[in-house]
Amino acid sequence: MALPTKLLLEIVTPDRSLVHEEVDEVQLPGAEGYLGVLPGHTPLLATLGVGELWYRVEQETHYLAIASGFGEVLPDSVTVLAQIAERAQDIDVGRAEAARKRAEERLNKNVDADIDRARIALMKSLIRIQVASRARTKV
């Protein structure tokens, strides 16, 4: 049996479907580190963390900010069920910067009850800023 040459990528959040496209390559932000996926990959189910997901269609690379969820990898498809997923061009950088500042202030106050939530909020805001910068640098 021949290996597939493309992957069907589906990215879904509780609100909507963001991506349904044939792609050449995907990188997922796994909870234990980033996972690179090419057609023919061994099946797996992975927990996703906060990070940057990118996928490539021929020479064009697309970026999304992802926070929490699951990724199912099959030899010919990748399905991402994410709590939060935003395309680079849809991210409001001003809002992400404000969220970063709020999270840093909470971390500096050192209130034990809010430390974990503040760290997660900081990670989400930093990933949004990073992913949004990818959209701004594209020509």
Last residue of a domain, one of 55, 73, 89: 89
Residue 26 is encoded by which pair of tokens?
Answer: 């995907």
Cα torsion through 25, 30, 122, 112, rounded to 10: 180
Q: In total, how many domains does the chain have? A: 2
CA angle 107, 108, 110 (to 5 degrees): 70
Query: 64 and 109, same structural domain?
Result: no
Query: 106 and 84, same structural domain?
Result: no
Query: 126 and 109, same structural domain?
Result: yes
Inform me whether the pLDDT recorded for 76 exceeds 90: yes
Residue 68 is encoded by which pair of tokens?
Answer: 């929490």
Instruction: Residue 9: count other Cβ atoms within 10 Å of its Cβ.
Output: 23
Order of strands across the sheet with 44-57? 17-23, 7-12, 77-87, 60-74, 44-57, 25-30, 33-37
Q: What is the Cα–Cα distance from 94 to 69, expressed in whole angstroms?
A: 25
User: What pLDDT digit, counting tens, does each position of 22-74 carry?
Assistant: 999 999 999 999 999 999 999 999 999 999 999 999 999 999 999 999 999 99
User: What pLDDT digit, counting tens, does each position of 88-98 carry?
Assistant: 888 888 888 89
Q: What is the Cα–Cα distance from 1 to 108, expressed in whole angstroms?
A: 57
Query: 43 and 32, same structural domain?
Result: yes
